[in-house]
Amino acid sequence: MPVPTPRTAIEAVTRRRFLASGWPWRSVAYLLTAPPVMLAAGLPLALLALPWIVLLLQVAEWDDPSLTGLALLLVAGAALLGAVGPLVALPLGAVERWRLRMVDTRPVASAHRPPGHAAWLRTRYSEAATWRELAYAVLLSTVAPVGYAAALVLVILIGACVASPFLVSLDGGPVALGFGQVSTVGETVPYALAGVALLPAVPYLLALLAGAHAAVARALLSAGTGERLHAELVEVSRSRARLVDAFEAERRRIERDLHDGAQQRLVSLTLQLGMARLDLPPESPAGQAVAGAHDQAKQLMAELRELIRGIHPQALTDSGLPAALRELADQSTIPVTVHTELSRRPPAPIETAAYFVVAEALANMSKHSGATAAGINATLDGNVLAVEVRDNGRGGADPARGTGLTGLADRVSVVDGRMFLTSPAGGPTLIRVEIPCRQTSDPHL
């Protein structure tokens, strides 16, 4: 079974061919490019933390400092770091995600969500990813230099041990090697042997340091699976809302074009045929032909009105959901009672969704239920619009046997609503729809 290719520097350290691979060089490149980033992040953060530095100096001197002054300095430092720190951490996070690819071949996704219609700063300051990046910037400016310095001292010490015979012969005097001093070549032999023995461990040490740094960076700067799914879900919800808005705008445009264009021309044609019908003898062939055309034009005009009403009912736009539901009840082939209790008018997309759910439910009842009576109940309780459509038909409605009920559920889900169905064999059938209806400053938005 083939051994999988290592994806990180830490995984590469465990492989036997580590020293012959490119991972030691990638680790060295990652470590060498880190100090400029530390400096670029540390300087502005040090300026932001200046009140805290003053506070530490006062506490160190302890010349009877004022507690009020200390508290003000503490609050000022926290305010500066919280207000300006993210502006330093955001570009730093982007740079570090790019650098991370040197020692980690796994995809690195940003945890930031798209700003959408909201302001960029408000979006960034309200998400956890920004504050994790700020925490990483603080660690990179404080803890990371200590770890890098310790590793550098250890590497220099190993190099000095290896080169100690040459250093003693060139200097001619005692040479300090950390654990002691040597003044002759003979005294340097144990140190030189220890240095040579430890020399192959240097690439492992550097790779482990780079791998640890990269692991912290990935944990704080990269989006986890849950965050990626959440971001994708938010984007899908936003794109779905944009599609709904675009579809509703197109629906209204078609309704307006039919009402102001085709219907007006058809009305004019009907009037002209009516005038021509009056001028011709009723029993003449021409009079009968014009009379037939006149009747067809009137029938077509009635059908066009029904089509326009089906695209977007004027009553819904002008008078709201209660009036539109009563109009649906009047047009139904079975008797329908309507009861509405709405404390305010819902937003237009929710009104439209609720209206068409009721319209399609009544149409399905007329075709399939065999009902002799139906009822509609619409209430707005708090922030939830609840609409119920019931009948006394034969029941047995099953979404698996057709797309009508599934289409109703899909229509409701577009506005983040839910649909419940109760339809035992023998009836009755109850369809309940619940749609979140948060109050806005404009009820039509």
The pair of three-digit structure tokens given for residue 217, joined into one six-digit string: 């960076």
**pLDDT value of residue 444:** 38
- In which element (H, E) is residue 263 found? helix 263-279
What's the confidence (pLDDT) of residue 203?
92
Residues 49-87: tens digit of each pLDDT = 776 666 666 655 655 555 665 566 666 667 777 777 888
Distances (CA, A) of 352 to 276, 360, 363: 42, 12, 16
Q: Is the dihedral of CA 85, 88, 91, 94 positive or negative?
A: negative
pLDDT in tens, 400-444: 665 567 777 777 777 778 888 888 888 788 888 888 886 544 433
pLDDT of amino acid 415: 78
Distance CA(15)–CA(7), nearest Å, equals 12
Q: What is the pLDDT of residue 267?
A: 74
| Positions of the chain with pLDDT lower than 50, given as ranges | 117, 225, 440-445
Say how far residue 119 (Cα) sits from the centre of its chain: 15
Decide if 346 contacts 427 (C-beta within 8 A). no
pLDDT at position 440, please? 47
Cα distance between residue 132 and residue 362, in whole Å: 53
Nearest to 155 by CA among 27, 14, 60: 27
Distance of CA 318 to the CA centre of its chain: 35
CATH number corresponding to 316-436: 3.30.565.10
Alpha-carbon span 218 to 202, nearest angstrom:
24
Report residue 87 as tokens.
């502006």
Q: Residue 262: phi, psi to the nearest 5?
A: -65, -40
Domain locations along the chain: 9-223, 238-311, 316-436
User: Residues 297-321: pLDDT tens digits?
Assistant: 777 777 666 665 555 666 777 778 8
By residue count, the chain amounts to 445
Q: Taking a C-beta distance cutoff of 8 angstroms, is the pair 374, 334 a contact?
A: yes
- Rounded Cα distance, 278 and 287, in Å: 8
Amino acid at 157: L
Residue 136 to residue 216: CA distance in whole angstroms:
8
Task: Give the predicted TM-score (pTM) of the model.
Answer: 0.52
Cα dihedral sign, 50-53-59-60: negative
